[in-house]
Structure 1
């Protein structure tokens, strides 16, 4: 626990310090780190403790640079959306959302290589769009705990300076984090372990604010923008990698490719489902999935029973190709394949004669 706390503090200090240079993103950087020490549903609660402290300190340091014309249109829709996102956290696995967020962040890669125009490349955003962005930010923030970098492009393209981005984002997010903390407590997500790790993150965030006060004025606008896009892409890669690995582990997923006669077969296992996609050089693509015997029509079940013989186990696969629909029945005795039967069905569900393959297959 002690070593985990030290490592978490170092990561928090680095993440919040980098956020000073990158225009935010400490929360998204900390999500995968906190995921190693806390259950995924408790990560947003611990993260909010740290981000409340960090946002408060940034507001104090850069109070004069807050763009209140953005805040007053951003916050009204973000507040109710936070309630919705935090409520859904009890029922929705945020890993799926993190994968989508990771893909979105990586999509900013082309902006890293775009040449900066000598003209002021800014785009004014309508008030309606500000309301929509506020709602999305609040909803995703309540569900995942941090979404700062997701909307970094909005702040950069709106024409804000680096100090205005830091100050305005802190003002927008401060009240959201306070509301989230209250909701997480009411939903029973705030344990002593969450509180401890959250305080460690908060200390790292507070100390990093001193670095921000000294370092931010020394950074050029060009470097600030490029660093912001870089952090978005890197955060997306980290988030996509970790959430993908957790999703694979939770669902007992497995992917494999293997050559077969006249083609290639790809097998996918997801929870209790087994899927197979087979490509034959002369027959095209086939999609296969394992199904229970009871999914077959009664006459099909009777046919399989009549062919079972001394087999102690039967595995049924439903096969779809471009122009046919068929089934494959594998008969096992003592975990050894003893026969296989293919039988097709007509569009009306009528069974055609089965093809019995020899035991050697």
Structure 2
């Protein structure tokens, strides 16, 4: 919902700058106290058992959205994040769960990009902080690669170039053949089924996009059991 982003982000950016200036002026002891209070204030929202909302409410008035953006920007600039505090405001605008996730992601990405620039400008990102951030990214990246079975394969022969990307049960392969033949192959390993002789088998579904100078563009589909 880009109209929500346009009402939320512009007032949030200067408010984040004000929160960052306040952050620079506080003594570390007071900062720790305020951050602790902020985290504790989020506990009721995390622990409260909410009923599943099946229907989306009617879209509310967005006139107050710049005020919410200002508060969220200040909170984000001062504490680094706003947690779950403003999710209910998104829901009151008539957004469903998927729209809340996407709209909030757009708001947060724009806000955090500006905050990173401000942190660098005010010298608040030192070497130790950057090192810790890089280490966390590497650890998280390794865990994601292992858990989701991410991989890349590349080969180059005299008349053919192949590149494949693996993610979970998906495999996307790009093949270039001379003189001009391109294949984009998407394979998905389906859930285990049962063969006629009652042995468990796994099916792979293929969707192949062919681009050829001689045969134009066409798509083929196929299923095959894995050995």
TM-score of the superposed pair, with normalisation by structure 2: 0.53
Matches within 5 A, 1:156-305: 156-203=91-138, 204=140
Q: Does the CA contact (< 8 Å) of 2:8 and 2:69 recur in 1?
A: yes
The 2-side partners of 1:126 and 1:162 are apart by: 19
Per the TM alignment, residue 139 of structure 1 is displaced from its structure 2 partner at its CA by 0.6
Q: Does the CA contact (< 8 Å) of 1:94 and 1:143 recur in 2?
A: no
Describe the superposition over 1:5-53 as per-residue Cα deviations: whole angstroms up to 9, x where unpaired: xxxxxxxxxxxxxxxxxxxxxxxxxxxxxxxxxxxxxxxxxxxxxxxxx
Describe the superposition over 1:134-193 as per-residue Cα deviations: whole angstroms up to 9, x where unpaired: 111111111111113222222344343333222211210112111111211122211111
Q: Which residue of 1 aligns with 2:10?
A: 76
Q: Any unmatched runs of 5+ in structure 2? A: 149-166, 169-227
Q: Which residue of 2 aligns with 1:303?
A: none
Match 2:38 to one of 91, 94, 101? 101
Describe the superposition over 1:214-263 as per-residue Cα deviations: whole angstroms up to 9, x where unpaired: 8xxxxxxxxxxxxxxxxxxxxxxxxxxxxxxxxxxxxxxxxxxxxxxxxx
The 1-side partners of 2:2 and 2:142 are apart by: 23
Q: Any unmatched runs of 5+ in structure 1? A: 1-66, 215-361
- Aligned length in residues: 145
Larger Rg: 1
3-state DSSP of counterpart to 2:85: helix
Match 1:152 to one of 84, 87, 94? 87
Q: CA RMSD in A?
A: 3.1
Q: Which residue of 2 aligns with 1:137?
A: 72
The 2-side partners of 1:98 and 1:153 are apart by: 22
Q: Does the CA contact (< 8 Å) of 2:62 and 2:93 recur in 1?
A: no
Per the TM alignment, residue 121 of structure 1 is displaced from its structure 2 partner at its CA by 5.3
Which of the pair is proportionally richer in helix? 1
TM-score of the superposed pair, with normalisation by structure 1: 0.35
The 2-side partners of 1:188 and 1:101 are apart by: 24
